[in-house]
Amino acid sequence: MDKVIIFDTTLRDGEQAAGGMLNIQEKLGVARQLEKLGVDVIEAGFPVSSPGDFGAVQSIAREVRGAIICGLARAHPKDIDSAWAALKEAEHPRIHVFLSASDIHMLHQLKKSREQILEMSRDMVARAKKYTDDIEFSPMDASRANPEFIYQVLEAVIDAGATTVNIPDTVGYAIPEEFGRLIEGIFSNVKNIGRAVVSVHCHDDLGLAVANSLEAVRQGARQVECTINGIGERAGNASLEEIVMAIETRSDFFKLTTGINTKQIYNTSRMVSELTGFSVQSNKAIVGANAFRHQSGIHQDGVIKMPITYEIIDPKKVGVPASSLVMGKLSGRNAFRERLAELGYSLGEEDFIHTFQAFKELADKKKEVTDRDIESLVAEEMRTVTEAYHLERIQVTCGDRGIPTAAVKLTGPDGITLADAALGTGPVDAVYKTINRLVKIPNTLTEFSVKSVTEGIDAIGEVLIRIESEGVTYTGRGADTDIIVASAKAYINALNRLLALKKATV
């Protein structure tokens, strides 16, 4: 069967989702996980956009092997030169050049003619070709552009050296039938199309990103650009897990395959969710909490007798364990390590020791530790990789007739102990005011949400917050059986992200 190339843009377009910013170490961690997942191309970032993005692309290019590492560049000499400077140490580098091609963009944004766009596209692909043989070109907003002009641009950039031509539905405007006709027209009207791979990049503004991508594949496209959990600009991108599992599950229809290690899908989804702060909706296909749960009595009866009656995908195939191992305070290191492996986690020894210690502390508070509890503990370990400040102790006094008061003790840079107390309108407000007095970083709290990770009176509560400082949004998450402690952890997590980014851009 033909293979569909999976181009993952979680670290570039996915990070463009409002509030989804990652630091360099987090990006590198996601890239390593994408390598385990088996994606063919990792679009690591947009190097010219910021020193942090340049550094992230450079680090990924140096350390991740096997996959093609791609950097985005506008059709501008500075962008292309910057992309190559970041990518040049990659085992397999790719420069991805893009330029708007629709009349709407040319008239209202670029103020350029079709002839100018054609010349810029050709010249910048030729410039990129001097650095590497692997060049991708995208005529942005192709789904709203004149098809004849798209054919003309594609032919010119392929002659200039493009080896992949990507057709973006930039604003999620296309309907599957018409998008399929556009792809079909490209194969019929671009004379040199046989010298390039046809790719698609679809957005989900009308909820059709996956449908449009699959229709394009049916018409001959052999690369799909997508993101983990479908995150991205505005309503997001085509979801990698949905694209892959549609092709895998319906191989009878598509007669195609991918090189994805599907057992890593769930673990990758959870990792991206935790690091970006974007929760996966319960009814999300493939990776949602309810994707393999059955409540109807009729459905339960069928699944007990034969899972295929109501499950078209074996949950184990995407890394969701079908069975559960009861974990508690008597569970040992080997049992805990085995459970982590079943959930798809492979921790280094130091990270394992910290996570096991946290597991034991939780097991003393709870009768039974569930899979979601364990996932929360691993996520907590991820969030504490780069800590300028660490929460040591917290004490709160509150009540309907008392004044909410919080005392907080932190470990700061160079191991310095910091402690203070403050009053607030409520316990969380008192905690945050105290932390602000200690850390002294001006910021505004823009979002605060609480959810229960598991069920029961002893459930772990997870807090997600977003803060804004100097026009930039930072996400923080924290989990604990005490919701006030979880709130403090989330705030410290957000502040540490803020400090890490500032340090990286100095």
- Are residues 112 and 82 located together in one domain of the fold? yes
Which domain-ending residue is among 335, 357, 383? 383
How many angstroms separate the CA atoms of 137 and 157, rounded?
7
Nearest Cα neighbor of 34 from 59, 86, 62, 69 is 69
Q: Which residues of the chain have pLDDT under 50?
A: 323-325, 385
**Residue 388: partners with Cβ closer than 8 Å, 6 or more residues away:** 412, 413, 495, 496, 499, 500
Residue 307's domain comprises 292-318
- Are residues 350 and 492 located together in one domain of the fold? no
DSSP classification of residue 247: H
How many angstroms separate the CA atoms of 474 and 457, rounded?
31
Which domain-ending residue is among 362, 383, 404? 383
**What is the pLDDT at residue 358?**
83
**Residue 37: partners with Cβ closer than 8 Å, 6 or more residues away:** 8, 260, 261, 264, 265, 268
Residue 33 belongs to domain with CATH number: 3.20.20.70
Q: Structural domain tally of the chain?
A: 4
How many angstroms separate the CA atoms of 419 and 440, rounded?
13
**What is the pLDDT at residue 457?**
67
CA distances (Å), origin 464, targets 272, 406, 446, 475: 14, 20, 11, 7
- Are residues 312 and 168 located together in one domain of the fold? no
Answer whether 0.85 is exceeded by the pTM: no
- Are residues 104 and 218 located together in one domain of the fold? yes
Residue at 281 is within a domain = no
- Are residues 188 and 113 located together in one domain of the fold? yes
How many angstroms separate the CA atoms of 241 and 457, rounded?
34
- Are residues 310 and 405 located together in one domain of the fold? no
Tell me if residue 379 falls in helix, strand or coil. helix
How many angstroms separate the CA atoms of 289 and 41, rounded?
28
- Kindly state the tokens that stand for 28: 């590198």
Decide: 363 and 369 in contact? Cβ < 8 Å: yes
DSSP classification of residue 106: I
Residue at 286 is within a domain = no
- Are residues 215 and 342 located together in one domain of the fold? no
- Are residues 342 and 470 located together in one domain of the fold? no
Residue at 241 is within a domain = yes
- Are residues 73 and 189 located together in one domain of the fold? yes
**What is the pLDDT at residue 506?**
58
- Are residues 236 and 266 located together in one domain of the fold? yes
**What is the pLDDT at residue 323?**
42
**What is the pLDDT at residue 461?**
86
**What is the pLDDT at residue 505?**
64
Residue at 228 is within a domain = yes
| β-pair partners for 246 | none
- Are residues 337 and 421 located together in one domain of the fold? no
How many angstroms separate the CA atoms of 474 and 497, rounded?
7
**What is the pLDDT at residue 386?**
64
Residue at 287 is within a domain = no
Which domain-ending residue is among 248, 276, 304? 276
- Are residues 148 and 249 located together in one domain of the fold? yes
How many angstroms separate the CA atoms of 121 and 123, rounded?
6
CA distances (Å), origin 257, targets 67, 69, 118, 285, 308: 17, 21, 35, 19, 21
**What is the pLDDT at residue 337?**
83
Residue at 282 is within a domain = no
How many angstroms separate the CA atoms of 480 and 462, rounded?
7
**Residue 362: partners with Cβ closer than 8 Å, 6 or more residues away:** 369, 373, 377, 460, 481
Taking each helix axis from N to C terminus, what angle separates 147-160 and 176-189, rounded to the nearest 10 degrees? 50
Residue at 283 is within a domain = no
Residue 439 belongs to domain with CATH number: 3.30.160.270
How many angstroms separate the CA atoms of 278 and 457, rounded?
25
